[in-house]
A = this chain, B = another copy of it.
Amino acid sequence: MAAVPVSATIQADVLHSFVKQVFERAGVPAEQAVDAADVLLYASRRGVDTHGVRNLKPIYFDGFESGILKPQADYKIEYETPITARVDGGHGLGLAASVWAMRLAMQKAQQSGIGMVAMRNSHHYGAAGYYPYMALQKDMIGICMTARIYARDHDYGVIPTFGAKSRFSTNPLSISFPTQTEPPWLLDMATSTVPFNRILMMRDNQQAIPLGWGVDANGVPTTDPSQVSFLSPLGGTREQGSHKGYGLAMMVSVLCNLLAGGWDDLYGDDPSAFEGYKVDGDSHFFAALRVDLFRPLDDFKRGMDAMIRALHETPKAPGHDRVYVAGEIEHETEQQRLRDGIPLTPVVLDDLRALSAQYGVPFEL
């Protein structure tokens, strides 16, 4: 991959404070501003830069200005049981609404062993991995997914196998398991082979992409990044198992969109109709599970450590000197960035300075 230009580095706590303050100045309630800053800094600390402070202006502040995103998330519980809740995100800041929803799932898990929360009418909630990461702080298993399913074509979406138009967003799923001394195991994966911005980067660099990342406007797999209209599900082609990535994408959409009620607002009387469907905003699914429902926590965590070590000890393929586990690279990046600061590209730096000027919040490197 081409090196990303870096204009500056900034300490994580300084950046967190800045993000929190500009959110507040934009009308986000103080506690929600802290939660939202936590989500963005999690991604920026761990090197998940596609989901970090890079999005502050183009997704969240531009969303406030255009009115599609309300700074004050008016989330509410629509229905609940001791172990579940169906909630409405209130078309507010998805970052803050989602932290609230994951806390609700964790409270239910604390009391009843498991908690599951499905949310509709939300917006972009940052890195899916943050919410399972919250569960880790309480030594629970954490699960999170986010999805849109499209009844009509949608730019940049993911095709079903044999399809020529998109029907899904990249529908990521994330799950975490607590460990003892090893870094926490944390999987955060889109159910597409790659995200669209990976293809755009290859296009900018005039590089061919592997067959299986995306298809052209007719649904034909292509190696030309400038021809890609839609993403392929994980697996890429039927021969390489794309029906599995497609199946996982559908699973995520059902658990998010359908359990939350985010996929039937306009349902009419004609059961054969799907054209009337409206998907309004993002839907999410959050779950927390207490390990001691099955085994003593320490036994589980010791077993996780041993599994991870067994994987680390796997003989390596030629050209590779490590076998990683999920979340390990991000954990090491986090250690390094907490020490050396978070790198900012010129574009992000300009965005942050513009927000600093607009909202009167000092921005110092």
Cβ of A317 under 8 Å from chain B: yes
CB–CB B326/A218 < 8 A: no
Query: What number of copies of this chain does the assembly contain?
Result: 2
Give the shortest distance, in Å, between A159 (CB) and chain B (any CB): 7
CB–CB A314/B83 < 8 A: no
Cβ of A113 under 8 Å from chain B: yes
CB–CB B219/A254 < 8 A: no
CB–CB A175/B83 < 8 A: no
Cβ of A338 under 8 Å from chain B: no
A: contact size bracket: 35 or more
In the assembled complex, which residues on chain B have CB atoms less than 8 Å from the CB atom of A246?
A: 326
Cβ of A180 under 8 Å from chain B: yes
CB–CB A218/B317 < 8 A: yes
Cβ of A167 under 8 Å from chain B: yes
In the assembled complex, which residues on chain B have CB atoms less than 8 Å from the CB atom of A153?
A: 315
In the assembled complex, which residues on chain B have CB atoms less than 8 Å from the CB atom of A187?
A: 244, 247-248, 250-251
Q: Which of B175, B274, B303, B315 interacts with A313 by CB under 8 Å?
A: B274
CB–CB A239/B220 < 8 A: no
Cβ of A359 under 8 Å from chain B: no
Cβ of A114 under 8 Å from chain B: yes
In the assembled complex, which residues on chain B have CB atoms less than 8 Å from the CB atom of A307?
A: 149, 250, 253-254, 257-258, 263, 274
Q: Which of A229-257 contact B (CB under 8 A)?
A: 234-236, 239-241, 243-248, 250-251, 253-254, 257
Q: Which of B151, B299, B302, B304 interacts with A254 by CB under 8 Å?
A: B304
CB–CB A318/B163 < 8 A: no
A36–B82 Cα distance when bound, in Å, is: 36
Q: Kindly specify which of A15-23, A27-35, A64-72, A264-272 makes contact with the partner chain.
A: A264-272
CB–CB B251/A84 < 8 A: no
A323–B250 Cα distance when bound, in Å, is: 13
Q: Which of B149, B175, B259, B271 interacts with A251 by CB under 8 Å?
A: B175
- 10 further A-B contacts with Cβ under 8 Å, apart from A83-B112, A163-B323, A240-B240, are A84-B113, A114-B116, A165-B314, A165-B315, A167-B310, A167-B314, A177-B254, A219-B316, A243-B326, A263-B306
